Amino acid sequence: MKRYLVVGLGNFGASVAETLAATGHDVVALDRSERRVDQLSRTVSQAAVGSGTDAATLKEIGADGAHAAVISTGDDITSSAMSTLLLREMGVEELYVKVISHEHARLIEKIGVTETVFPEHDSGIRLARRITNRMLLNYVELGAGLGVQEMAVPNSWIGKNLLQLQLPRQYGIQVVAVHDVLMGRMIPLPDPKAPLKESDTLLVSGADENLARATRVK
For residues 94, 4, 177, 209, the Cα torsion angle rounded to the nearest 10 degrees is -40
Among 47-51, 87-91, 101-105, 124-128, name the one with the lowest average pLDDT.
124-128
pTM: 0.66
Decide: 172 and 147 in contact? Cβ < 8 Å: no
CA distance 71 to 64: 14
The fold for domain 122-215 equals Alpha-Beta Plaits (3.30.70)
Decide: 122 and 88 in contact? Cβ < 8 Å: no
Distance of CA 110 to the CA centre of its chain: 21
Partner residues linked to 94 by β-bridges = 68
Instruction: Please state which CATH number belongs to domain 3-117.
Output: 3.40.50.720
The residue type at 115: E
Residue range(s) of every CATH 3.30.70.1450 domain in the chain = 122-215
> Please, which pLDDT band fits residue 8 given cuts at 50, 70 and 90?
very high
The predicted-structure confidence for 134-147, as pLDDT tens digits, reads as follows 566 677 777 778 88
